Amino acid sequence: MKTKLALENGSVFPGESFGASSEVTGEVVFNTSMTGYQEILSDPSYAGQIVTMTYPLIGNYGINLEDLESVKPQVAGFVVKEYFDYYSNFRATGSLGDWLEEHGIPGIQGIDTRMLTKMIREGGALRGVLSAVDLDDDRLVAKARRSPQMKGLDLTRQVTTAEPYRWDDIDRTPFALRPQARKDRNGRKWNVVAYDYGVKHNILRRLTSYGCSLNVVPSSWPAEKVLELDPDGIFLSNGPGDPAAVRYAIENLKKLIGRKPIFGICLGHQLLALALGGKTYKLKFGHRGANHPVKNLLTQEIEITSQNHGFAVDPESLDPSAIEMTHVNLNDNTNEGLRHRELPVFSVQYHPEASPGPHDSDYLFVRFLEMMEHQAVSVGSNAR
C-alpha cells in the first residue's frame, strides 16, 4: 500500500506502508543505532515522535516480549529504508510489522533515509505527517505545519502510570553479570521511590538487580506523599517532551532536594536542573543513538553511551558554587551530567541501563547506593 511522509518544510517522501494503515503527526527525528529497534519503539521518551532509523535494514530479527522497554510501542510513526518482514531469531514471537499494526502504529519503507537524516541534521528536527489515508501532497504539508511544536509540550502525562505500583519484575540478568545486591546493616533492601515520567523497564530492572525495592509513582505525585513512604532514595526517570513544561514535577522536586538522596536520568536530569534553578533549551536535532562518547570530568574517562533526548541543560544557568558539571558530550560539548557539591543529588543525561559500552556507566547505580548508605549512616548517628 502506498503511503507518504510529508514535512513542514514542504518535502514529501512517497513509500510503501507497513504496520498500521493510518495517519499520524509528530516530530520527525533520527536514531543512529544499528540494532535495538524494539527497545527504541517501546521507549516512552519517543512519545509524539516519528522515528527514522539510519541503519538501512530493519525488522530482520522480529519482536520478542522480553526486551520491550514498556508494554507497547510508544512512537507516533516509524521510518526505514527497507523493512524486512521475514524475521529469524529463536527468541522472536512475531514480526515487527504485525506488532506495529496490532498497536495502530504506521510505518513507511522505501524512502531515502540518508536524505531525510541529512535534512534534519542541517535544518533541525521537523514536524511531519505520516499517512496511508491521505496522499495529497499539499494537504499533508499543511497538516504537518499545523501539528504541535515539541517545545512547550508536556507529554509525561500521556506515558506515566495512572496509579502507584510496586515493581516486582524478575531480574533476568545472567547470574555471572548480576551485581552483588547491597543491603543496609539490617539486611533490608533499599526502599526507592521512582518517579515515572516515562520510565524504561530496564532502568527498573537494573535498580532491582542492585537490591532496590521500588515504589513507582506517577509524574505528578506530590512530594509530601513521596516522603510519607519514607524512601531511602528517590529516582527520577526518563521521559518525553519539553522539561520546562512539566512545572508540577519541578515544584515537587524543589521540595525533595536535600531531604533524600536523588538520582536522575535523561528527563529526570533536566527536571532536576530546573528545580536547582537552571534552564534547558531545545537541541537542533537531538541525540538519539547508541554510540555517543561522553567524558567523565571527575575521572577523565570516556564512556560510550546510549542517548535519546531533544533538550539539554544549560550549564551556564546553574550556580557553579553549588552545582558541579560532571559529564560532557564529546560530539558537541553539551552537558551530560551534574551533581550538587553538598547535597546527595546527581543526574546524567544519557542511559546507563542501556549498556552500549556495555558496562561503562554502571557505576552510576553504585553511586546511588553509596549515597543511600551514607545517608542511612548519618541519620543513624544523629539519632543516637
- State residue 351 phi and psi, 5-degree precision: -115, 95
Per DSSP, the three-state class of 25 is strand
Q: Which of 8, 27, 69, 353 is catalytic?
A: 353
Task: Tell me which H or E stretch contains 228.
Answer: helix 223-228
The C-alpha atoms of residue 354 and residue 352 are separated, in whole angstroms, by: 5
Cβ neighbours of residue 260 closer than 8 Å, sequence gap 6 or more: 227, 231, 232, 233, 234, 344, 375
- State residue 309 phi and psi, 5-degree precision: -160, 150
Q: Which of 39, 201, 351, 373 is catalytic?
A: 351
Q: What is the dihedral of CA 315, 316, 322, 327, to 10 degrees?
A: 30
In 3D, which of 337, 27, 333 has the Cα closest to residue 153? 27
Say whether 266 is catalytic.
yes
Please, are residues 2 and 135 in contact by the beta-carbon 8 Å criterion?
yes
Q: Is 300 exposed, middle or buried (0-12, 13-18, 19+ CB in 10 A)?
A: exposed
Q: Where are the alpha helices (DSSP H) in 88-222?
A: 96-102, 113-123, 137-146, 156-159, 201-209
Say whether 353 is catalytic.
yes
Please, are residues 57 and 82 in contact by the beta-carbon 8 Å criterion?
yes
The C-alpha atoms of residue 67 and residue 91 are separated, in whole angstroms, by: 10
Between the alpha carbon of residue 127 and those of residues 146, 203, 360, the distances in Å are 9, 30, 35
Say whether 351 is catalytic.
yes
The C-alpha atoms of residue 333 and residue 290 are separated, in whole angstroms, by: 17
Q: Which of 69, 201, 266, 287 is catalytic?
A: 266
Ranges assigned E (strand) in the chain: 2-7, 12-19, 23-31, 49-53, 57-58, 77-79, 82-83, 106-109, 126-131, 165-167, 190-196, 212-218, 233-236, 262-265, 279-296, 302-314, 323-329, 335-340, 345-348
Please, are residues 66 and 87 in contact by the beta-carbon 8 Å criterion?
no
Q: Which active-site residues does the annotation give?
A: 266, 351, 353
